[in-house]
Amino acid sequence: MSNAEAKTGRPLSPHLQVYRWPITMTMSILHRVTGGALYFGTLLLAWWVIAAAAGPGPFSVVSWVFGSWIGLLVLFGYTWALIHHLLGGLRHFVWDVGAGFTKPARDNLAWANIIGSVALTILIWIVALVIR
């Protein structure tokens, strides 16, 4: 068997069919994306505060927008982005103190970040809807 025959069928470089993103890489990307999403969400928060200060008319418009199904969906996403970014920051803090650098520890922290952010977001929304 020649060298050329041995190489047939193998990919020339890693691609999506053979390369699997590590969970830590995924969390790094999500941390950056949620950080960017928080800028947009903070604009929505500022709109709400300004409308509250402007009087009942503007505040009722903002309340209507945020109370619509798409507004609630955006607020749910903002809540998740906030919690996910917070937990990602705590994960980085653990690394800053010099802990969690083994592969299992990194992976466990990354999974805890995603699972914790989803669970806490759902919990926060359940509590908010019950209180409402």
Residues annotated as binding site? Answer: 85
Largest CA distance in the chain: 82
Q: How far apart are CA 53 and CA 71, in angstroms?
A: 20
Tokens of 120: 């806490």
User: Residue 23 in contact with residue 109, Cβ under 8 Å?
Assistant: no
**Binding-site sequence positions for heme:** 85
- Whole-number Cα distances in Å, 88 to 44, 53, 121: 22, 33, 14
Helices 56-67 and 69-96, axial angle in degrees (round to 10): 80
Q: How far apart are CA 116 and CA 132, in angstroms?
A: 24
